[in-house]
């Protein structure tokens, strides 16, 4: 145990919840990765209680997963529409549902729950077509329901620290921002004649028009805007595929322009051997620069122009409240991806309880805005259009 008072100096958790939210979940039973991530994230800070689920559309899997997750048998559904109706009808029904299924199903599922008055937490990209995202946005506007898109990387403490430092002017006028999300999990084998199936991610019918640009590029795009505090006013994309038989891009290389005059680049790749979900950003102004990488998530590297580079540690000296509120354990003990996702879930909980119970919250829900979800879908379409039209500038905002 290691808890002298000073070592907790950089730890300032979010406000306690007045109560727990009743959460339902769709997807997650079939061995995919993101369903359990949502469940752990919801559980970590004790702000949710999982009460219902449609964990799989296959009855046997749904049943087994429901038992494993300790769902009551009668609230472990196989059809999300049944779930939406039944939970809406219960006085103790799910207040909010987390959608963790493949992209193409997000719209229908979200719509089913919104139609029943149930708030939604939706994985990204929000939908595979912009029209669907706009439809959900309109429904949300009409109903006043909460709709949250999980750009979970934006809830890493040191990402918040970066955003806060930029907003506070520590970097001066921003000149350039570079962001990238590099993976290798779709690297084709050189021996395969035709590409093997790589799950729904390489199928346009299930993933939408974007491959890497949608799957991970949207995260990079969100981070670029989130950290810089500036909208991307232009993008110029070159999309490519590592294998001719692949139907969606697996390499996306973009030039960026920001509304404040900065320029930059965005790389997204699923075919870069040696990269394990390497998400990074670099942002430079005339007063200083910042660099961050998920692989070293607990540190932010800050250089004031003309000074030595400094390593700001999560929980340590130099952290600002924006980061401290995302911090659970003292500096040195690493927090990771699940903690970031849980931070997002905690912010959603505070926002949602305030909304449902009609109370005021001082905590902004920064990383889950529906507007960012909609813009993420527009980003994919703008990038695909830029590439198709011969690598010309597109403004993703113009599509909305």
Judged by CB under 8 A, which stretch of 81-89, 138-146, 188-196, 225-233 contacts a second copy?
188-196
Q: Does 233 bind a second copy (CB under 8 A)?
A: no
The DSSP call for residue 197 is P
Which one-letter DSSP state was computed for residue 302? E
Q: Which is nearer to a second copy, 115 or 304 (CB)?
A: 304
Shortest distance, CB of residue 45 to a second copy, whole angstroms?
A: 8
Closest CA to 305 of 333, 325, 284, 319: 284
Tokens of 194: 């035709």
For a second copy, which is the closer residue by CB, 116 or 248? 248
Per CB under 8 A, contacts with a second copy among 95-114 are: 100, 102-103
Distance from C-alpha of 192 to C-alpha of 226, rounded to nearest angstrom? 40
Figure out which of the listed residues 134, 185, 233, 355 binds a second copy, where binding follows CB under 8 A.
Answer: 185
> Binding to a second copy by residue 20, rule CB under 8 A?
yes
- Radius of gyration of the chain, Cα coordinates, nearest whole angstrom: 21
Q: Does 201 bind a second copy (CB under 8 A)?
A: yes
- For the segment 282-301, give every residue that binds a second copy (CB under 8 A): 282, 284-291, 294-298, 301
Map 312-349 to HEC letters: EECCCCCCCHHHHCCCCCCCCCCCCHHHHHHHHHHHHH
CB 259 within 8 A of CB 238: no
Q: Is 4 in the site for a second copy (CB under 8 A)?
A: yes
Among 66, 93, 157, 188, binds a second copy (CB under 8 A): 188
Shortest distance (Å) from residue 205 CB to a second copy: 16
- By CB under 8 A, the residues from 155 to 174 that bind a second copy are 172-173
Q: Is 123 in the site for a second copy (CB under 8 A)?
A: yes
Among positions 209, 210, 217, 330, the unique one binding a second copy when judged by CB under 8 A: 330
| β partners of residue 174 | 285
Of 99 and 116, which CB lies nearer to a second copy in the complex structure? 99
Q: Please identify, using beta-carbon distances, which residue of 116 and 327 lies nearer to a second copy.
A: 327
* Collapsed DSSP state (helix, strand, coil) of residue 245: coil
Q: Does 175 bind a second copy (CB under 8 A)?
A: yes
Each residue of 36-71: b (16+ CB within 10 Å) or e?
bbbbebbbbbebbebbbbbbbbeeeebbebbeebeb
Q: Which of 79, 135, 184, 203 binds a second copy (CB under 8 A)?
A: 184
């Amino acid at each position: 145990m290691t808890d002298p008072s000073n070592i907790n100096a950089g730890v300032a958790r979010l406000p306690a919840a007045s109560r727990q939210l009743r959460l339902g979940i769709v997807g997650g039973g079939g061995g995919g990765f993101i369903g359990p991530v949502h469940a752990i994230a919801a559980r970590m800070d004790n702000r949710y209680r999982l009460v219902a689920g449609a964990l799989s559309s296959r009855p046997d899997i749904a049943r087994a997963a429901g038992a494993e997750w300790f769902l009551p048998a009668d609230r472990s559904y196989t059809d999300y529409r049944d779930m939406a109706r039944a939970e809406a009808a219960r006085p103790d029904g799910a207040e909010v549902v987390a959608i963790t299924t493949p992209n193409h199903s997000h719209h229908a599922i979200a719509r089913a729950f919104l139609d029943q008055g149930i708030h939604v937490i939706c994985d990204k990209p929000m939908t595979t077509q912009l029209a669907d995202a706009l439809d959900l946005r309109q429904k949300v506007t009409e109903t006043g329901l909460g709709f949250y898109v999980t750009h979970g990387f934006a809830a890493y403490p040191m990402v918040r620290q970066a955003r806060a430092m930029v907003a506070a002017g520590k970097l001066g006028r921003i000149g350039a921002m570079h962001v990238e999300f590099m993976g290798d999990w779709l690297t084709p084998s050189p021996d395969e004649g035709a590409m093997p199936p790589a799950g729904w991610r390489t199928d346009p019918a299930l993933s939408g028009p974007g491959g890497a640009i949608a799957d991970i590029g949207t995260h990079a795009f969100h981070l670029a805007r989130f950290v810089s505090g500036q909208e991307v006013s232009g993008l110029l994309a070159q999309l490519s595929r590592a294998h001719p038989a692949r139907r969606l891009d697996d390499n996306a290389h973009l030039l960026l322009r920001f509304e404040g005059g900065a320029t930059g680049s965005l790389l997204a790749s699923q075919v870069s051997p040696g990269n394990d979900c390497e998400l990074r950003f670099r942002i430079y102004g005339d007063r200083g620069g910042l660099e961050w990488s998920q692989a070293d998530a607990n540190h932010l590297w800050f250089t004031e122009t003309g000074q030595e580079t400094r390593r700001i540690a999560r929980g340590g000296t130099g952290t600002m409240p924006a980061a401290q509120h995302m911090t659970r354990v003292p500096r040195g003990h690493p927090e990771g991806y699940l903690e970031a996702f849980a931070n997002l879930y905690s912010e959603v909980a505070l926002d949602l309880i305030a909304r449902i119970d009609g109370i005021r919250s001082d905590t902004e829900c920064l990383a889950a805005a529906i507007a960012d979800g909609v813009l993420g879908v527009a980003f994919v379409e703008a990038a695909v259009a830029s590439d198709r039209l011969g690598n010309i500038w597109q403004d993703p905002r113009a599509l909305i």
